[in-house]
Chain A
Amino acid sequence: MKNNLLARFFSALCLLQLLLFTGTSAFAQAPGTEAPEMADVLRQSGKIYVVVAAVVIIVAGLLVYLISLDRKVARLEQEINK
């Protein structure tokens, strides 16, 4: 049950972030004529979201791993402190 709650929390978080930040990439899209070169094409093609998704997967994966370790230690604590 706790797992279920966690999964829902994560998906809500991801959704919220998508809603909040998909619009903001429009700022970065105005290509400057003399300004230093930036990854504007990557943004226009939308491939930047592939990178974002990959990084989010890694960060979320690390966090899930840490959480699972935390839970295992908590279970051990319960057992040993009985």
Chain B
Amino acid sequence: MKWTWWKVLTVVCLLYSAVAGFLLPVPRLAIVNESIRNLYFHVPMWFAMMVILGTSVFRSMQYLRNPSARLDILSHEAAKSGIVLGLLGLATGSLWAKYTWGAWWTPDPRLNAAAVAMLIYGAYLVLRGSFRDEQQRARVSAIYNIFAFAAAIPLLFILPRLAGNSLHPGQTGNPGFNKYDLDSTMRLVFYPAVIGWILFSFWMTQVGSRLAFLQLKLDEK
């Protein structure tokens, strides 16, 4: 395998965030206490998910303009990586909620919207599995993928904000992190963690795609 710069960067960023995430100081806040460090692990899942799902949609659009089995594979593998990251985001969020809000799940607009977004993506996998004809599968799933992404944007970024009251941070007003949520020392770990997990998702997608390309090549022979 080739050690490209971004693979080295993935290893460095992830190991750095695992060490610095526990050892660098964090703000002393009531209720969250030390669990504020979850920010370094829970939030990057969602960042990486959005980036890799965006890549998947981009590949789907490319497919519809210029159909090829390779583009279908790239889009499918990227969507799979995104779904894995989204599920990990939901699981870590649920665990964090249990110990700060007192329940595994709360009927919170952001939580429910994120769950619905994941279900929509789950349907993508079901849809793909229901076709025998490869070209039809590739075309329909490319179209559905665009719909799923278009549905995920309002579900994750707009509706929770319109709904107002929420326990989830970054909810009222600006959905990003304000000064209270993220201070400058936390950024030192948070940004490398985000970069690391985004690159990790690309790496997973790349390996999966290359394997699928080989399968394709063998099938063609």
Q: Is B33 an interface residue (CB 8 A)?
A: yes
Q: Is A67 an interface residue (CB 8 A)?
A: yes
Interface centre among B14, B34, B211 (most CB of A within 10 A): B34
**Binary per-residue interface labels of chain B (200-211) against chain A in the complex, 1 for a CB within 8 Å, 0 otherwise:** 100110110011
Binding stretch for chain A, among B20-28, B54-62, B122-130, B172-180:
B20-28
Question: With A36-B28, A37-B33, A38-B28 in contact, is A70–B207 under 8 Å at CB?
Answer: yes
Question: With A13-B12, A17-B15, A76-B214 in contact, is A27–B25 under 8 Å at CB?
Answer: yes
Q: Is the interface of B mostly helix, strand, loop or mixed?
A: helix
Task: With both chains docked as a complex, state the minimum distance between the C-beta of A28 and any C-beta of chain B, in angstroms.
Answer: 4
Q: Is A60 an interface residue (CB 8 A)?
A: yes
Give the nearest-CB partner of A57 in chain B. Answer: B18
Give the nearest-CB partner of A42 in chain B. Answer: B34
B23 contact set on A, CB distance < 8 A:
21-22, 24-25, 28, 48, 52
Give the nearest-CB partner of A28 in chain B. Answer: B25
Number of A-B contacts (CB under 8 A): 84
- Give the CA-CA distance A40 to B106 in the complex, in Å: 30
Give the nearest-CB partner of A71 in chain B. Answer: B1
Chain A contributes a number of interface residues (CB within 8 A of B) equal to 34
Q: 23 A–B contact pairs at CB < 8 A? A: A13-B12, A13-B15, A17-B19, A18-B19, A21-B19, A21-B20, A24-B23, A28-B23, A36-B30, A38-B28, A39-B34, A52-B18, A55-B18, A55-B21, A55-B22, A56-B15, A60-B15, A66-B203, A67-B1, A70-B7, A76-B211, A77-B214, A80-B214
- Since A38-B28, A66-B207, A74-B2 are in contact, a sample of 15 more A-B pairs with Cβ atoms closer than 8 Å, ordered by chain A residue number, is A13-B12, A13-B15, A18-B19, A21-B19, A21-B20, A27-B24, A37-B33, A48-B23, A59-B14, A66-B200, A66-B204, A70-B1, A73-B211, A74-B210, A80-B217
B residues sitting closer than 8 Å to A (CB atoms) are 1-2, 7, 10-12, 14-16, 18-26, 28-31, 33-34, 200, 203-204, 206-207, 210-211, 214, 217-218
A residues sitting closer than 8 Å to B (CB atoms) are 13-14, 17-18, 21-22, 24-25, 27-28, 32, 35-39, 48, 51-52, 55-56, 59-60, 63, 66-67, 69-71, 73-74, 76-77, 80
